[in-house]
Amino acid sequence: MKRLLGLLVLAAFASISLAQVPASSYRVENVATPRGIAPEVSAVTFGKDGLLYATFRQGYIYAYNPKSGQWRRFASGLHLPLGIIAGEEGVFFVAQIPELTRVADTDGDGEADVYEAISDDWGMSGNYHEFVGGPIRDAEGNFYIGLGVSSPNAEPRLPIRGELTDRGRIAKNPVKGNVNTIRFYSPTSYRGCVVKISASGKFSPFACGVRQPNGLGFDAQGEIFAADNQGGWVGTSPLHHITEGAFHGHPASLNWDP
């Protein structure tokens, strides 16, 4: 049944019939997660060494050897890493909540010894909903990251990092006079935007008006697309064609537009 469901999904996305899918076109392999680590995989990529590198919600990167079936810890101490791409051998670029980080093994011992912040020029708070999408990297070496907005259902504390403004965050009820947090807001800078970071670390907002861009990718022509998430102000989960300077409809990021 699982194999049949997998074929049906594959066929639906590829717009081809089941008869056209070769039986040898893919295989499903069960891989146990590292011992003692919660199975909360947030991103995966293959390194230049042929190993599979996986980030885990609690801040780890582990390397998996497909031949031996063994895991080895590569990095730790990250803040909810949600995206990883490989650079040259031993080098990875990781999108974590507060920054884009270059994580590298410079002495070749299989464990990272360099954690370099490429950019941390956006805001964050204690709100759980400020997820990030990406990174992806274009042919010129520029990185792109999607920054999710905050949720009114999770405010453990006032925002503590980045510029803070209440404009767009709270609204007064004109009848009762009380103050209520509005739905899905951007209290710290550039939340609700897709941002661009050059190879040298220069930061700039690229496009705004997204809610929760969980996935970013390029098409064959190098155009950027982002999968947004249904919720406040977003009636269904859309796929956006992200172009520089565009606004994609969610109002929260307007908080940072003069």
pLDDT tens per residue, range 32-50: 999 999 999 999 999 999 9
116 shares its domain with 136: no
102 and 213 in a common domain: no
Over the stretch 42-77, which tens digit does the pLDDT of each residue have?
999 999 999 999 999 999 999 999 999 999 999 999
144 and 190 together in one domain: yes
Q: How far apart are CA 213 and CA 223, in angstroms?
A: 16
pLDDT at position 214 over 60: yes
Query: Confidence band (pLDDT; 50, 70, 90) for 220?
Result: very high
Q: 43 lies in a domain? A: yes
Which of 64, 43, 67, 38 lies closest to 55, judged by CA?
43
Residue 179 and residue 173: Cα distance in Å, rounded?
Answer: 6
Kindly report the pTM of this predicted structure: 0.84
**DSSP string for 224-237:** EEEE---BTTBSS-
> Would you state the pLDDT for residue 204?
96
Q: What CATH code is carried by the domain that includes residue 82?
A: 2.40.10.500
Instruction: Tell whether 20 is covered by a domain.
Output: no
Total number of domains constituting the chain? 2
The pLDDT-based confidence of 19 (bands split at 50, 70, 90) is low
- Clarify whether residues 127 and 255 are in a common domain: yes
151 and 239, same domain (yes or no):
yes
Residues 230 and 135 in one domain: yes
Same domain (yes/no): 167, 116:
no
What pLDDT sits at residue 160?
57
Domain housing 171? 121-258
Asked if residues 162 and 172 have their Cβ atoms less than 8 Å apart, the reply is: no
Tokens of 186: 């951007």
The verdict on 224 and 199 lying in the same domain is yes
- Element at 2 (helix H, strand E): helix 2-14
User: Do 88 and 185 fall into the same domain?
Assistant: no
Asked whether residue 176 is domain-assigned, the answer is: yes
